[in-house]
Structure 1
Amino acid sequence: MTPESIPPPEGVPADAGAAKTDPNRQVRGDERRELTGRVTAAYEQGRSIRDIASTIGRSYGFVHRLLAEAGVDFRTRGGARKGGGK
């Protein structure tokens, strides 16, 4: 997957995710808000935090922090349980 596969939110240019080039560079101000919008949109479309992190070249913790700062309601862990109800 390419970093462009994370859709930008409305009104944000598609090339706003410049943070993908250097994972050690701090992202601040407008750039951070734009990246947060893109990451939030991808998460709300059903992508996992790990998938988003690998796509933009950042850590799981960084993406989780962006989502938490945005006030996202996190999904529960794991999938449906096997074996049905007893």
Structure 2
Amino acid sequence: MPDDQLLQDVPVLTPRTLLVGEQRDTFRAAAARAYSEGEHSVAAIARHSRRSSQFVRNVLIEAEVAFRPLPWQLTRQQPPFVTQQRDDRPPSANDRTVDNWPPPGKRLRPEQQESVTSEFRRKYDAGASIQALAEESGWSYGYVHRRLAETGPLRSPGGNVRSRRRQRGSGPQPPR
């Protein structure tokens, strides 16, 4: 049972009171006694002193107080705010470990970009779809599409090769 007298010994502070010197030492000693001997929580001391829990925790750290384990730490369970990861979930792109693909989302050096692009092109020319390449590598569909478009023509949905779009201003101009 927490000792209320030790909590009453902790000074009640007015807003914007800066604790320095002897005042801080007094507050630190009283808060440390209320926490260690009085078995009050950091939150209870913070409410009483009208300071934040973080402030009280920092003062207790200054006083070198050993913190008590939280209830969920005593039972060796996950804390209530951490969601359990299920083993039956499908793997995401971040879970995949493919030997020759660099991790998605990282900026690639030029030589890495060239090797990734040539690998994409080799597999694409062998018949792999852009979607299949994106799923295998973990990179987005748009990234794979851009890399392939830079290296040459792409297949249309029917399997035919699409011609590159004519750039504006090139070729014969229609009469005005």
**Under a length normalisation based on structure 1, what TM-score does the superposition of the two structures give?**
0.64
- CA offsets, 1:41-73, max 9 Å, x none? 000001000000000000000000000111x21
Give the counterpart of 2:155 among 61, 75, 80. 75
Query: Number of paired residues?
Result: 63
Please report how far the alpha carbon of residue 26 of structure 1 lies from its aligned counterpart in structure 2 after TM superposition. 1.4
**Structure 2 counterpart of 1:24:** 105
For 1:33 and 1:54, the matched residues in 2 are separated by 19
> Could you tell me which residue of structure 2 aligns to residue 84 of structure 1?
none
Larger relative CO (CA 8 A, sep 6+): 1 or 2? 1
Shift of 1:39: 0.3
Q: CA RMSD in A?
A: 1.9
Residue 28 of structure 1 and its aligned partner are, at CA, apart by: 2.7
The structure that has the greater radius of gyration is: 2
Other-structure match for 1:33? 114
Distance 2:150 2:132 in 1: 19
Q: Secondary structure at the match of 2:112?
A: helix
Work out the CA distance in 2 between the residues paired with 1:57 and 1:67: 16
Unaligned ranges ≥5, structure 1: 5-14, 80-86
Deviation larger for 24-33 or 46-55: 24-33
Structure 2: runs of 5 or more not aligned: 1-96, 160-176
Counterpart position of 1:83: none
What's the TM-score, normalizing by structure 2?
0.33
Aligned-pair distance for 1:76?
1.0
Per-residue displacement from partner, 1:22-52 (whole Å, max 9, x unpaired)?
x211123100000000000000001000000
Q: Percent identity?
A: 35
Shift of 1:3: 3.8
Kindly provide the amino acid, as one letter, of the partner of residue 44 in structure 1: D
